[in-house]
A = this chain, B = another copy of it.
Amino acid sequence: MRVIDELGYRPRAAARELSAGHALTIGLVVTDLSNPFFARLADRIVWEARSHGVQVVLMTTQEDPHLEADSLDTLLDRSVSGVIATPTGGNIEKWRRLRDLGVNVVFIDRAIEELEDVDVVSIENFDSGQRSTEHLISLGHTRIGLITGPLTTSTGSARLNGYRAAHRNASLPVDPTLIRDVPFRGDAGGDAVGSLLAMRQPPTALIVANTAQVQSSVRRLVQMGTDIPDQLSLIVFDDNPWTELTSPPLSVIRQPLDMLAVHAIELVLGRMHGKLPDGARRIEVKADYLPRNSCAPVTAPVAR
């Protein structure tokens, strides 16, 4: 021990991994880090992992299944003992194989229907969609726009279902032309905003129900000089650091990133140490509605 200290000896990770057959490393696979949601999620995960002596290898997919497939191969080569990912939706077989090979997989933020035996940590998507819609309905809005990610994603469909349920409960019809499911990448959010406001009977309220579309949507609203909240009430998903710096400050659905990260890490590490019972876990944490000043009652009653 004294000599170890004197020489500053440190065991070599590669040798240990080769001998053990697996690495004290997890892979983190997210879309990209320019989305503040994923960035802060990554920050929390790296932080939590560190406190357990686990390193994080970071890979980004740009929502592209090919890049995702590459990432998974690479992580497999590295014998990572776990993967935390926001899956693109593709590579079903690859994910399954990864899991069968003993890699602990945890999906965060979204799920994949076909992979029911994979752990998932997410917010209560249905509930978030419902509550934000209900809030706008309670302000008298009857034409509420919804911008969401592709409906093939679990977040997209669950939030839309919440939106629908809120309408149903209020005995309001759902106008399908107010619903825009758009791709994650590019300026799709902005375009959806443009076309919604150009409608003959435009919505009086808007929910941007995916973090990937918030920035481009808000940018477009600012460019168009839309008067918020008088002309349009607005709720966006996820409390970015800047949502309170706009005028007016935006009412948001706040996703509890810390909880998501902590649960994800605990699932991965728990399975690593075999401390968890078999069977997939689905953890849903509540997302709060944080009212600020971007929502107001409808100004004029809507003629029908």
| Chain A contacts to B: CB under 8 angstroms | 10-15, 17-18, 23, 25, 28, 32-34, 36, 39-40, 42-43, 46-47, 50, 55-60, 73-74, 76-79, 215, 218-219, 222, 240-242, 244-247, 249
Contact = CB atoms under 8 A, between A and B. Distances in A.
Given A11-B77, A15-B18, A77-B11, A34 B23 contact: no
A14 B23 contact: yes
Given A55-B78, A60-B43, A215-B241, A14 B11 contact: no
Nearest to A77: B13
Among A55, A74, A240, max chain B CB count under 10 A is at: A55
11 contacts: A12-B18, A14-B78, A33-B40, A33-B43, A36-B36, A47-B60, A57-B57, A215-B242, A219-B244, A246-B246, A247-B247
Contacts of A28: 58
Contacts of A34: 36, 39-40, 43, 241
B57 A55 contact: yes
B40 A10 contact: no
B10 A14 contact: no
A73 B10 contact: yes
Contacts of A39: 33-34, 36, 39, 42-43
B42 A58 contact: yes
Given A14-B18, A58-B58, 16 more contacts: A11-B77, A12-B77, A14-B23, A28-B58, A33-B46, A34-B40, A42-B58, A46-B59, A50-B60, A218-B245, A219-B244, A219-B245, A241-B242, A242-B246, A246-B247, A247-B247
Given A219-B244, A245-B246, A56 B58 contact: yes
Nearest to A215: B241
Contacts of A247: 222, 246-247
A222 B17 CA distance: 52
Contacts of A11: 77
Closest 9 CB pairs of A and B: A242-B242, A39-B39, A33-B43, A14-B17, A14-B18, A247-B247, A13-B78, A58-B58, A13-B77
Contacts of A244: 219, 222
Contacts of A10: 73, 76-77
Contacts of A222: 244-245, 247, 249
Nearest to A248: B247
Nearest to A221: B245
A79 B33 contact: no
A273 B227 CA distance: 56
